[in-house]
Amino acid sequence: MELGKSAPNFTLNDLGGLVHSLKDYRGRIVIVNFWSAECPHAARVDEDLLPLLERWGGKVQLLQIASNGNEPLEMLRQVADERGAHPILQDANHAVADIYEATNTPHIFIVDADGLLQYHGAYDDVAFRQQVATRNYVEELVKSLLNGSKPQATSVPPFGCTIVRMDSSHAEC
């Protein structure tokens, strides 16, 4: 995952069975967020990020990817509906998480309108010792891209819950 290079394309089904490919969103900024139904950090990001998407209109697309092997489909559907988080793309065997080297939920990757990776890492500066955000990296970066300027932060270590990788023989269906 090299910044400034093409982001790897992926094709996944959402929880309703519709197919989504990263390349289909060329021309828009895409926020790829590795997401969890159980992680409180993912829930906090949903609460903060979803209103920003409304403000940005159709210029920014959010693709949230559920890669945790221990979160069954019904749980994903229920929590996505409760949070109003759609679409949630199912990466049951964590293949896309592996390609993107995603480690946490949330782990954010921002792809510009030309399909180039411009950022990967944390949503904001919340950490163990800093419980309240003072800086929102995703909002800063998207604003920069929308204004045609270069973003300041391009990579910040992600903070959240570890993605649960299970081999398919132990995953719940």
Please state the domain count of the chain. 1
pLDDT band at 170 (very low <50, low <70, confident <90, very high): very low
Range scoring the smallest mean pLDDT among 56-70, 112-126, 144-158? 144-158
Query: Residue 5 domain-assigned?
Result: no
- Looking up residue 151, the CATH number of its domain turns out to be 3.40.30.10
Residue range 120-138: mean pLDDT, rounded: 88
Query: Residue 2 domain-assigned?
Result: no
Q: What is the pLDDT of residues 134-148, one digit of tens each?
A: 899 999 999 999 998
Query: Residue 4 domain-assigned?
Result: no
Query: Residue 170 domain-assigned?
Result: no
Q: What is the pLDDT of residues 42-87, one digit of tens each?
A: 999 999 999 999 999 889 999 999 999 999 999 999 999 999 999 9
How many C-beta neighbours within 10 Å does residue 74 have? 12
How many C-beta neighbours within 10 Å does residue 154 have? 16
Q: How many helices (H) and strands (E) does the chain have?
A: 4, 10
* Encoded tokens for 95: 């293949």
Question: Model-level pTM?
Answer: 0.91
